[in-house]
């Protein structure tokens, strides 16, 4: 199946379907990852568009290749535009594919997230989207991310993103508390990955401080100095890991 689709894409390129757009669609050399300064752990707000997003899948990638000359699956598909969010207000809708933010091409979910999160609230930027065979430019104003979601990014510079869950789920998990913190993203090659953290881990405490809400998770990281000791549950098993900050020498 993969070889068949690859052959079809190659054939499209050979017959010149994409020739008219090659200047726009040739993928540039990979840009360096955006480096977030250490003091970003103390940043109180992030940019936000109010959309649920996912990477473009294989089937959609082929369709885009036929319509737009995109030779590789890339771009970010809008899964939903949240009510009253910036995206809904400018008409973005489920199924749109975002391929560019301002002058910067975006290839996958984390590219778009990093660009938007670290834009200033109130900035206006133009999104280039693909919709029903058309390429559209949509101006949008960056809003402030809701506080609970922003708190879950308190350790993003360390490669860790979390989400809070409520008392009902905590009770089903037998945690005996009013809520909790679940790891949702661990970036490859990050301090969080080197510490052994995994998506799905349930964080119980940071440096002895119970983690029940996104707000006290964020406070624990912002007030910590040096490495952070995390107690967690993984598949019901208790574990302890140490999350080192870049530039610090671990204690021997």
Same-domain check for residues 199 and 129: no
pLDDT of the residue at 58 = 61
Same-domain check for residues 90 and 188: no
Confidence of residue 57 (pLDDT cuts 50, 70, 90): low
CATH code: domain of residue 34: 2.30.42.10
Inform me whether the pLDDT recorded for 18 exceeds 50: no
Contact 181, 205 (CB under 8 A): no
Same-domain check for residues 136 and 44: yes
Contact 145, 46 (CB under 8 A): yes
- Domain limit, last residue, from 90, 123, 144: 144
Examine residue 49 and state whether it is found in any structural domain, yes or no. Answer: yes
Examine residue 125 and state whether it is found in any structural domain, yes or no. Answer: yes
Same-domain check for residues 126 and 7: yes
Same-domain check for residues 221 and 117: no
CA distance 244 to 250: 7
Examine residue 250 and state whether it is found in any structural domain, yes or no. Answer: no
Determine the structural domain holding residue 17 and report its residue range. Answer: 2-144
Inform me whether the pLDDT recorded for 97 exceeds 50: yes
Examine residue 29 and state whether it is found in any structural domain, yes or no. Answer: yes
pLDDT of the residue at 230 = 96
- Total number of domains constituting the chain: 2
Examine residue 252 and state whether it is found in any structural domain, yes or no. Answer: no
CA distance 159 to 150: 14
Same-domain check for residues 14 and 68: yes
Instruction: List the structure tokens of 34.
Output: 């955006």
Examine residue 84 and state whether it is found in any structural domain, yes or no. Answer: yes
Same-domain check for residues 94 and 155: no
What is the overall mean pLDDT for the chain?
78
Same-domain check for residues 36 and 160: no
β-sheet bridge partners, residue 101: 104, 127
Same-domain check for residues 108 and 175: no
Examine residue 248 and state whether it is found in any structural domain, yes or no. Answer: no
* Residue of 98, 116, 104 lying closest to 54 (CA atoms): 98
Examine residue 100 and state whether it is found in any structural domain, yes or no. Answer: yes
Q: What angle do CA 79, 119, 162 make, to 5 degrees?
A: 55
Same-domain check for residues 29 and 119: yes
**Stretch 45-65: mean pLDDT, rounded?**
76
- Domain limit, last residue, from 112, 144, 176: 144
Inform me whether the pLDDT recorded for 19 exceeds 50: no
Same-domain check for residues 137 and 157: no
Same-domain check for residues 105 and 195: no
- Domain limit, last residue, from 118, 144, 170: 144
At 128-140, the pLDDT tens digits run 999 988 889 999 9
């Amino acid at each position: 199946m993969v070889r068949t689709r690859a052959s079809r894409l190659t054939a499209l390129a050979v017959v010149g379907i994409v020739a008219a757009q090659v200047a726009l669609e040739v993928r540039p050399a990979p840009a360096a990852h955006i480096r977030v300064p250490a003091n970003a752990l103390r940043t109180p707000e992030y940019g936000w568009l109010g959309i649920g997003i996912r990477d473009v899948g294989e089937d959609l990638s082929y369709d885009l290749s036929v319509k737009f000359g995109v030779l590789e699956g890339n771009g970010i598909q809008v899964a939903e535009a949240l009510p009253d969010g910036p995206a809904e207000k400018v008409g973005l809708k489920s199924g749109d594919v975002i391929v560019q933010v301002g002058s910067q091409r975006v290839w996958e979910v984390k590219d778009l997230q990093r660009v938007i999160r670290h834009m200033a609230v109130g900035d206006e930027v133009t999104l280039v989207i693909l919709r029903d065979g058309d390429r559209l430019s949509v101006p949008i104003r960056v809003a402030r991310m809701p506080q609970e979601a922003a708190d879950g990014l308190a350790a993003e510079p360390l490669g860790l993103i979390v989400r809070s869950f409520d008392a009902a789920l905590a009770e089903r998990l037998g945690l005996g508390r009013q809520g909790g913190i679940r790891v949702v993203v661990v970036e490859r090659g990050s301090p969080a990955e080197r510490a052994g953290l995994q998506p799905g881990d349930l964080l119980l405490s940071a440096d002895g401080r119970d983690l029940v809400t996104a707000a006290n998770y964020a406070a624990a990281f912002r007030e910590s100095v040096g490495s952070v000791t995390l107690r967690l549950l993984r598949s019901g098993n208790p574990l302890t890991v140490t999350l080192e900050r870049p530039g610090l020498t671990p204690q021997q």
